[in-house]
Amino acid sequence: MMKEPGKTASIHRFSARAVIPYLFVAPFMLMFLVFGLVPLVMSVVISFTKWDYASPMEWYGLGNYKLIFGLIGSGKVASDFWNGVLHTLLFVAVETPLLIVIPMIVALLISKCKAVRKLSMGFFYFPSILSITTVCILWNFLLDTNAGVINHYLGIEIPWITQMPYAWISIFVLSAWWGIGGNMILYIAGIANVPPEILEAAELDGAGAFRKFFSVTLPCMRRTLFYTLIMTTIGSFNMLGQAQVLTAGGPNFGTTTAMMVIYNTAFGGTNNFGRACAMAIVFGVLMSLFTVLSFKLQVSDEEEM
């Protein structure tokens, strides 16, 4: 039985229409498979081995995980790793609110001062385009105890980098200065998208500036706030450069984060890639738990509204 020409052409058009969207997605999926999924699977496999790059892999089973949780060995591996996790949690607990609140304040000020908006946005966004190494070198020049600009012009001798709690204070201030720009841009866009009629209605009802912000602006920016909270927290969990370049993990390993422990285990002389992969898996699970919890809270909040 012969197929009708019109029907055959429509089938070809339908097939092409169905394939085209996958062609657009294909480059991203290829990049994700090569640089995302495959390394993740390899890391999981390697975490069950002993491997120092030079020697063949040796199957170690759950040995690396037992070391991390202190079930075998002297406990030094577990102590170093979990101390790094605690330092990371300290950084997350302090830095995440700073990178949510400060960019919001800056975005509100810029939104009110339209005449200098572009200049102000460029001024606050500029640090975000610098590499963390560049930022740390710059701040080391500012904070050095003996030759630093800050101590020299203020006439003080505060050991900003070499003593506690100044080392952490320096890291917090540096990270806030470096990270303001990205969230600020998102908040400015979110503020611009708040319906003006709602703000006018609130003003007619007698709402002041604070009332309009907390009752109108913030609820309208709920999704933007949620996005910045998740991304900022994940970025804070992955803090490495600030502590490694500015303070070198000191003083007395007091600013050594989990990412530094993982990096040093893999490349810092220990060269135990299997153990480093196991640490990365455990740390990744902790980050995933936070992300899932945040999404649950967001969904429940939207259902209530």
Does the structure show a pLDDT above 70 at 81?
yes
Q: Please report the DSSP string for 169-234 in residue order.
A: HHHHHHHHHHHHHHHHHHHHHHHHTS-HHHHHHHHHTT--HHHHIIIIIHHHTHHHHHHHHHHHHH
Mean pLDDT along residues 172-198 = 91
Find, among 37, 92, 40, the residue nearest to 294 by Cα.
92
Q: Are 237 and 224 in contact (CB under 8 A)?
A: no
Q: Give the span between the Cα atoms of 48 and 65, in whole angstroms.
A: 8
**What is the share, in percent, of the chain residues with pLDDT greater than 90?**
49
59: which strand partners? Answer: 49
Phi, psi (deg, nearest 5) at residue 26? -55, -45
Does the structure show a pLDDT above 90 at 257?
yes
127-157 pLDDT per residue, tens: 999 999 999 999 999 998 888 899 988 888 8
Mean pLDDT along residues 74-86 = 93
Mean pLDDT along residues 171-189 = 93
**What is the share, in percent, of the chain residues with pLDDT greater than 70?**
90
Half-sphere exposure of 190 (CA within 13 A, CB side): 24
Q: Which residues have a Cβ under 8 Å from the Cβ of 133 and sit 6 or more positions away?
A: 241, 245
Domain ranges of the chain: 5-46, 75-304
Q: Give the span between the Cα atoms of 28 and 203, in whole angstroms.
A: 46
- The continuous run of DSSP H or E covering 248 comes out as none
197-244 pLDDT per residue, tens: 888 888 888 888 888 888 888 888 988 999 999 999 999 999 999 989
Min mean pLDDT across 60-74, 173-187, 282-296 is at: 282-296
Mean pLDDT along residues 87-103 = 94
* Fold of the CATH domain 75-304: MetI-like fold (1.10.3720)
pLDDT band, residue 15 (cuts 50/70/90): low
Please give the model's pTM, rounded to 2 decimal places: 0.88
Does the structure show a pLDDT above 60 at 8?
no
116 or 107: whose pLDDT is higher? 107
State the Rg of the chain over Cα.
Answer: 25
17-50 pLDDT per residue, tens: 777 888 888 899 999 999 989 999 999 999 999 9
Q: What pLDDT shows up at residue 292?
A: 84
Q: Which residues have a Cβ under 8 Å from the Cβ of 151 and sit 6 or more positions away?
A: 143, 144, 145, 157, 158, 160
Residue at token pair 């600030």? 242
Q: Please report the DSSP string for 266-282 in residue order.
A: HHSS---HHHHHHHHHH
Q: Give the span between the Cα atoms of 65 and 20, in whole angstroms.
A: 45
Q: What pLDDT shows up at residue 1?
A: 45
